């Protein structure tokens, strides 16, 4: 489990990365309130997002400064929405990458099939998948 602690006045915030079942969970706590939780299947993607989330929290704290008597519920909602936006932007990039790889792989195997199909005699061909 990886953690990173932050301070906001007297409140301690914590981001974490831990295993959850067969996957990984990345989250953020503001005090004892969980603001964000995201799940990943691959450890590389989870580690990439954890690194991105740590950077986003630091940038958020520097970019959006608040006064001493700020409404904490509003701030939690604002920070949570920012983390969710970062998460879904990251996930969309990963999905596009996986879809591109899947389409490329399908195109390569389809070209191979068409090349091999020309060599087979008509009598040799049969359905490869039949209902049992």
pLDDT (tens digit per residue) in 83-132: 999 999 999 999 999 999 999 999 999 999 888 888 877 667 666 777 66
Query: Quick one: which H or E segment has residue 51?
Result: helix 43-63
* Ramachandran class of 2: left when φ > 0, alpha when ψ lies in -120 to 50, beta otherwise: beta
Q: What is the DSSP string of 76-95?
A: HHHHHHHHHHHHHHHHHHHH
pLDDT in tens, 25-78: 999 999 999 999 999 999 999 999 999 999 999 999 899 888 888 898 999 999
C-alpha 57, offset from chain centre: 16
First CA to last CA across the chain, in angstroms? 47
**pLDDT reported for residue 8:** 84
Contact 26, 38 (CB under 8 A): yes
């Amino acid at each position: 489990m990886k953690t990173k602690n932050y301070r906001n006045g007297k409140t301690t915030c914590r981001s974490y990365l831990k295993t959850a079942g067969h996957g990984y969970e990345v989250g953020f706590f503001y005090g004892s309130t969980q603001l964000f939780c995201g799940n990943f299947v691959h450890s590389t993607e989870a580690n990439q997002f954890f690194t991105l989330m740590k950077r986003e929290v630091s940038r958020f704290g520097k970019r959006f400064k608040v006064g001493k008597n700020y409404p904490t519920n509003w701030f939690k909602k604002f920070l949570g929405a920012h983390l969710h936006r970062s998460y879904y932007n990251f996930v969309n990039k990963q999905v596009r990458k996986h879809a591109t790889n899947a389409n490329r792989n399908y195109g390569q195997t389809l070209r191979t099939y068409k090349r091999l199909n020309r060599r087979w005699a008509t009598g040799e061909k049969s359905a490869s998948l039949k209902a049992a």
